[in-house]
């Protein structure tokens, strides 16, 4: 119970502090930043408990439950939440946000972090659904932090599409629950994930097929899977960088977490072949749409958004390739979280200096801001799948799993689409890094201390490209063994 409180309580306390203190003071931001480190400590403690063979539970009827998958996602959310607390509006001087905007960011960004942490900690798929719905509300408020027609439109588009998706996920949840009650009878913990998995072999296959399709399309909309992805580029392009980092780095992963939970139930009822087909189909479609969209992008924040769709598609492909593919998918999910959150924070520094998000208007980045430009280049090279970064290892592991499973045509298509995406990303990166910068653009780094946590993210990607630490390997192996029959 105490460890779960360490994970869940800090963002609530930070949001409450920002709501109570008026007008906003920087001390609130520093308190938020320090409390975010407590959440990371709680996530690491839960990780250790899981590796020791325990499933951490708390509350009546195991209301909260943390296993290997929850521990991995909880760690990712807490890390990106901490980056947003340290690098988001409210700590540095000379920011482009007033006190009211900063206060609103601190309130809703912390509530956003809490809803994601609660979603991956709730034992009940019903409460998980409520938490994921709440992520829409808490994040949509922040998309138009800089009020403009484009940001308001992006926020409404996000709300409408996510609400439709979450309604479909609710329909799938109700279908499975009604079938459970009809066969097993009413139980207090009927919607708890372990109870559903235990009862899954006795559920009607036809009902479970329909329920899983609703859930996959519903939560897949939130995860940015094609063709339900259209909200994502607009929202990421208009949102503050800290929110884009949270949405792209971990919100998409939390939505996939819900799909994985339901896939385990569907696999116990139908076998893995049914869910594998959907994962491979949607994953390849997402990868294809994103790869060609990357080539024709003119906005570097939208470039990063389409890259998120690409990598979410890769994770889906991995989930459809059995235990080896699931291992690669979970490793890829963690690598993407580190790389994408780092790049969105760096994009904010580029935007602040060049006063534009258009790729064609950003030239000579290495001359203008050498440290920022170097980290930005390394991050995009990592996203493109080059060694020695962790994404190269996870993509290689995914391809190896696909060939081992006999999915030769699918893996050939993945290689082709990854090549297209690589060419697009590298071409855009070259335009931004080199050339003569505009004389209107001042040179030098605005502030160097925010580069330290971002450099740590890059160092972690290098470590994951050279070796998979034993605690991480054991945790991901536990996920693959639990969720794939």
At residue 121, does pLDDT exceed 90?
Answer: yes
Read off the pLDDT of each residue in 449-456 and give the average, rounded to a whole number: 94
Domain locations in the chain?
1-123, 138-252, 271-485
Three-class DSSP category at 58: strand
Label residue 2 by pLDDT band (50, 70, 90): confident
Note the pLDDT of residue 94: 66
Percent of the chain with pLDDT over 70: 99
Read off the pLDDT of each residue in 243-261 and give the average, rounded to a whole number: 96
Report how far apart, in Å, the C-alpha atoms of 378 and of each of 115, 142, 293, 308, 342 are.
32, 29, 21, 17, 10
Note the pLDDT of residue 60: 80
For 228-243, write each residue's pLDDT tens digit.
888 999 999 899 999 9
* Exposed / middle / buried, residue 444 (Cβ in 10 Å: 0-12, 13-18, 19+): exposed
Mean pLDDT score across all residues of the chain: 93
Note the pLDDT of residue 315: 97
Note the pLDDT of residue 439: 82
- Distance between CA atoms of 136 and 169, rounded to whole angstroms? 14
Note the pLDDT of residue 312: 96
Q: How far is C-alpha 144 from the chain's CA centre?
A: 20
Report how far apart, in Å, the C-alpha atoms of 320 and of each of 317, 324, 398, 475, 479 are.
5, 10, 10, 19, 14
At residue 185, does pLDDT exceed 80?
Answer: no
Question: Model pTM?
Answer: 0.96
- Distance between CA atoms of 169 and 388, rounded to whole angstroms? 39
At residue 93, does pLDDT exceed 90?
Answer: no
Note the pLDDT of residue 485: 52
- Distance between CA atoms of 366 and 90, rounded to whole angstroms? 27
Note the pLDDT of residue 481: 83
Three-class DSSP category at 192: strand
Note the pLDDT of residue 484: 59
Note the pLDDT of residue 440: 85
Read off the pLDDT of each residue in 8-31 and give the average, rounded to a whole number: 94
Read off the pLDDT of each residue in 80-85 and give the average, rounded to a whole number: 97
Q: Which long-range contacts (CB under 8 A, 24 or more apart) does 331-334 make?
A: 331/390, 331/393, 331/394, 331/397, 331/464, 331/468, 331/472, 331/476, 332/391, 332/394, 332/395, 332/398, 333/72, 333/76, 333/253, 333/256, 334/72, 334/76, 334/390, 334/464, 334/472
For 20-75, write each residue's pLDDT tens digit.
998 888 899 999 999 999 999 999 999 999 999 998 888 787 889 999 999 999 99
For 298-354, write each residue's pLDDT tens digit.
999 999 999 999 999 999 999 999 999 999 999 999 999 999 999 999 999 999 999
- Range in 18-22, 36-40, 364-368, 481-485 with the lowest mean pLDDT: 481-485
Read off the pLDDT of each residue in 201-212 and give the average, rounded to a whole number: 94
User: For residue 123, what is the DSSP state?
Assistant: S
Read off the pLDDT of each residue in 475-482 and give the average, rounded to a whole number: 90
> Of 114, 117, 84, which is closest to residue 102 (Cα–Cα)?
84
Three-class DSSP category at 89: coil
Report how far apart, in Å, the C-alpha atoms of 17 and of each of 11, 24, 113, 220 are.
10, 10, 15, 34
């Amino acid at each position: 119970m105490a460890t779960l409180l360490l994970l869940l309580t800090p963002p609530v306390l930070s949001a409450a502090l920002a709501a109570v203190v008026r007008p906003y003071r920087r001390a609130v931001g520093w308190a938020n930043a320090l409390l975010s480190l407590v959440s990371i400590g709680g996530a690491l403690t839960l990780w250790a408990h899981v590796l020791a063979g325990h499933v951490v539970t708390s509350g009546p009827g195991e209301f909260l439950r943390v296993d290997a998958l929850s521990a991995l996602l909880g760690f990712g959310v807490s890390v990106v939440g901490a980056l947003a607390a340290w690098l988001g509006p409210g700590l540095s001087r000379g920011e482009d946000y007033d006190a009211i905007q900063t206060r609103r960011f601190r309130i809703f960004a912390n509530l956003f972090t809490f809803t994601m942490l609660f979603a991956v900690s709730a034992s009940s798929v019903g409460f998980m659904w409520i938490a994921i719905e709440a992520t829409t509300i808490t994040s949509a408020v922040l998309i138009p932090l800089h009020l403009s027609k484009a940001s308001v439109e992006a926020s409404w588009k996000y709300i409408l599409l996510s609400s439709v998706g979450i309604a479909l996920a609710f329909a799938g949840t109700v279908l499975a629950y009604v079938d459970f009650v009809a066969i097993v009878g009413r139980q207090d913990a009927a919607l708890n994930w372990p109870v559903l998995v235990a009862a899954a072999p006795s559920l009607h296959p036809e009902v479970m097929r329909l329920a899983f399709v609703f859930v996959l399309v519903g939560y897949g909309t939130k995860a940015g899977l094609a063709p339900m992805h259209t909200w994502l580029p607009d929202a990421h392009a208009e949102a503050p960088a800290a929110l884009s980092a949270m949405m792209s780095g971990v919100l998409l992963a939390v939505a996939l977490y819900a799909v994985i939970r339901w896939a385990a139930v569907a696999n116990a009822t139908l076998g893995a072949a049914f869910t594998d087909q959907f994962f491979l189909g949607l994953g390849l479609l997402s990868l294809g749409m994103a790869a060609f969209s990357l080539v024709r992008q003119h906005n570097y924040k939208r470039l990063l958004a389409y890259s998120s769709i690409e990598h979410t598609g890769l994770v889906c492909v991995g989930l459809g390739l059995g235990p080896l593919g699931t291992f690669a998918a979970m490793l890829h999910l963690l690598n993407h979280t580190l790389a994408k959150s780092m790049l969105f924070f760096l994009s904010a520094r580029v935007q602040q200096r060049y006063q534009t998000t258009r790729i064609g208007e950003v030239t000579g980045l290495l001359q203008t801001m050498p440290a920022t430009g170097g980290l930005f280049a390394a991050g995009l090279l990592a996203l493109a799948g080059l060694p020695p970064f962790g994404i190269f290892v996870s993509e290689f592991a995914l391809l190896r799993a696909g060939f081992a499973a006999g999915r030769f045509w699918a893996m050939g298509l993945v290689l082709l689409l990854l090549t297209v995406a690589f060419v697009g990303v590298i071409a855009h990166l070259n335009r931004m890094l080199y050339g003569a910068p505009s004389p209107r653009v001042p040179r030098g780094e605005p502030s160097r201390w925010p580069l330290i946590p971002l450099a740590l993210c890059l160092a972690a990607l290098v470590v994951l490209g050279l070796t998979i630490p034993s605690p991480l390997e054991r945790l991901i192996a536990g996920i693959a063994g639990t969720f794939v029959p």
